[in-house]
Amino acid sequence: MKAFLTFFFSISLVGFAQLSQAASAVDFDFKVSRWQADYSGDIGSNGQTASLSELGFDDEDQNVIALELRHSLPILPNILIQNTDLDADASGTLVRTLEFNGVSFVSNTDVETELDLSHTDITLFYSPIDTWLTLDVGLTVRYFGEDTVVSSNILQSDVELDQFIPMAYLGVGVELPLTGFYIDASINGVSYEGSRFTDASLLIGYQASISKGVDIIAELGYRDLSVDIDDLDGFDGDIQIDGAYFTLGVSF
């Protein structure tokens, strides 16, 4: 899966760059972020859960790659493709019984946990306001396709969270005139069948020209991802991952 995503992003990067060069009314951004993600909440099944702190999770640096294409072509939406790596490992001792996808781990058991909520987003959006103030409205499809594994010396249980999650998308941006600085905020969210997903971010950024038609981008922001899962592929969880991130990028 990760090899496919690497290939997909490489092809998208080349294609978007060529399109940007071919059309003067097209803006293409490529960004790489480092997110200091702090984990909290709990996971389990059938009401028998363990907190992430009990399982040994704390904070972990994660990578985010994003490609964004904005244009002035009629009817066609803008597009944002983003991959977030959220693979974290931890070890801890249970203070109560944990059930995970039909397997029970009793209290005082030492367990290893791999929690992988890595995902890829494809967002199609329109910008009804696009001046010094921007308003973006659209739809995100988020794909989770990795395993979460809990294991002890004698037991192991895993869940593959193989799901496409559609979410509403809203973004707002403000440019600070004549400074190169800007402020952006965005949120994805959906709630259905007892599960809820929200993903919000707020950032301040700076963009400056380094050559004709090429700008460099630097951003500092805060992202809050909340996942409340109710029996999705045998997985229950109330998970919050939040923290500051730093981004470097280039705009054509």
- 41-76: per-residue pLDDT in tens? 999 888 788 999 999 998 999 999 999 999 888 789
Question: Is pLDDT at 102 greater than 50 in this prediction?
Answer: yes
Give me the pLDDT at residue 23, please.
47
Higher pLDDT pick, 119 / 45: 119
Note whether residue 38 is domain-resident.
yes
Question: Is pLDDT at 28 greater than 80 in this prediction?
Answer: yes
CA atoms within 13 A of residue 196's CA, in its CB half-sphere: 7
Give me the pLDDT at residue 117, please.
93
Higher pLDDT pick, 4 / 109: 109
Distance CA 207, CA 212 (A): 14
Inter-CA distances, 130 with 61, 72, 181, Å: 33, 10, 16
Question: Is pLDDT at 116 greater than 60 in this prediction?
Answer: yes
Distance CA 151, CA 237 (A): 17
**Which range (121-125, 162-166, 240-244, 246-250) has the least confidence?**
162-166
Mean pLDDT, residues 200-204: 98
Question: Is pLDDT at 220 greater than 80 in this prediction?
Answer: yes
Note whether residue 248 is domain-resident.
no
Q: Counting beta carbons within 10 angstroms of the beta carbon of residue 237, is it exposed (0 to 12), middle (13 to 18) or buried (19 or more)?
A: buried
Q: What percent of the chain has pLDDT over 90?
A: 63
What mean pLDDT value characterizes the chain?
A: 88
Question: Is pLDDT at 80 greater than 60 in this prediction?
Answer: yes
Which domain CATH number covers 188? Answer: 2.40.128
Mean pLDDT, residues 86-113: 91
Question: Is pLDDT at 21 greater than 80 in this prediction?
Answer: no
Distance CA 52, CA 115 (A): 10
Question: Is pLDDT at 17 greater than 70 in this prediction?
Answer: no
Note whether residue 251 is domain-resident.
no
Distance CA 16, CA 67 (A): 8
Question: Is pLDDT at 188 greater than 90 in this prediction?
Answer: yes
Inter-CA distances, 50 with 26, 56, 161, 237, Å: 48, 10, 18, 9
Give me the pLDDT at residue 177, please.
87
Give me the pLDDT at residue 227, please.
92
Q: What is the pTM assigned to this prediction? A: 0.87
Give me the pLDDT at residue 233, please.
67
Domain range spanning residue 133?
A: 2-243
Note whether residue 31 is domain-resident.
yes
- What is the DSSP secondary-structure string of the chain? -HHHHHHHHHHHHHHHHHHHHH-TTEEEEEEEEEEEEEEEEEEEETTEEEETTTTT--EEEEEEEEEEEEE--SSPPEEEEEEE--EEEEEEE-SS-EEETTEEE-TT-EEEEEEE--EEEEEEEEEEEESSEEEEEEEEEEEEEEEEEEE-SS-EEEEEEEEEEEEEEEEEEEE-TTTSEEEEEEEEEEEETTEEEEEEEEEEEEEEEEETTEEEEEEEEEEEEEEEEEEETTEEEEEEEEEEEEEEEEE-
Give me the pLDDT at residue 7, please.
45
Residue 130 is encoded by which pair of tokens? 């696009």
- Structural domain total, the chain: 1
